[in-house]
Structure 1
């Protein structure tokens, strides 16, 4: 009788060990898959951040070229160059607009300051030199907000790996909003009441 019980225990223990090994193997596989997915997402976000940074720099550089060219004498070549630069500025603005989340306050402020800058550039190109100072205010705001957009995205990359608590996520959002509120809104005087962000 003892021999038949031990004969029965061996297959049961063997089956339990096999099930346990399968569960551990599946758990490790799921963990590795999630980790790999997080890593791929982080790599994509890093590429997105780099591309956005390059396009923002391109926008600022084009704005400065327009402001510099507006100082030169009026010629046919200059007019064509300014038209091309304004076209490039609009294309860059559209590209950036498609990349950012319009539902986030920081992104919306970025887009507002870019739109105001581009508007100033169009008028400056047609001789309104008095708008150069205003354009520079919008560019200063845009650059400050750009740093917040980048910081927000780096937080997302980091959060993909460390999986922070809800309290930490709320703290990150609160800090971002506080920093955004400290940046002077150069667009506020030029927006209709009720539209100020």
Structure 2
């Protein structure tokens, strides 16, 4: 071989260039994979946070509707006059419908709570007392809210799904 051809294949010159190219490609692939994983994790965190926020708002909104419902039902038992009573019955009916829409009626606990709310509506619109039914609604909704709050904690990663399910099973005993 001639000296010129031998110099063209001088590996001491070629190896650093090959190593530089391999390291550059490796760094690009590593940066890309890290970016994809980071974006996926952030998307999951945002999704879980939004779900937790929606459940929290559902709990608070339903609590307010229940308080309004109870207040109106109490006002119906001792109405000041017929016009006010008719207005209260109409508002109570709207709240009953609103609460029904907030509940997931295929769940047994939700269905039982709605039946009690309907009993309160009937009793209060007839001017009859409903203390026992009201107490039962409070008890049922305390369980519903606890179950929903556990779901919030699962979405936020503060509780495992297994722990939440175990607490739900414990809460539903006897229902």
Q: TM-score with structure 2 length normalisation?
A: 0.86
Aligned to 1:153: 148
SS in 1 for 2:24: helix
Counterpart selection for 2:32 from 22, 38, 44: 22
Structure 2 match to 1:170: 165
**Structure-2 residue corresponding to 1:96:** 99
The CA RMSD over aligned residues, in Å, is 1.8
Q: Which runs of 5+ in 2 are unaligned?
A: 1-10
**Count of aligned positions:** 165
CA contact (8 A) 2:96 2:117 kept: yes
The answer for unaligned runs of 5 or more in structure 1 is 73-77, 125-130, 182-197
Task: Supply the distance in 1 between the matched residues of 2:169 and 2:46 (Cα, whole angstroms).
Answer: 30
Change (3 A) 1:141 1:169: same
Aligned to 1:57: 67
1:26 is displaced (CA, Å) by 1.2
Shift in alpha-carbon separation, 1:166–1:37, aligned structure 2, 3 A? closer
Bigger Cα Rg: 2
> Structure 1 residue aligned with 2:22, among 12, 15, 21?
12
Whole-angstrom distance in 2 between the partners of 1:177 and 1:44: 23
1:86 and 2:89 matched: yes
CA distance in 1, matches of 2:168, 2:147: 8
* Partner Cα separation in structure 2 for residue 165 and residue 41 of structure 1: 16
Question: How far 1:2 moved relative to its partner?
Answer: 3.7
SS at match of 1:101: coil
Counterpart residue number, 1:37: 47
Q: Secondary structure at the match of 1:26?
A: helix
Cross-structure match for 1:117: 120
Q: Secondary structure at the match of 1:162?
A: coil
Q: CA deviation at 1:165?
A: 4.5
Q: Report if the CA contact (8 A) 2:153-2:159 is conserved.
A: no
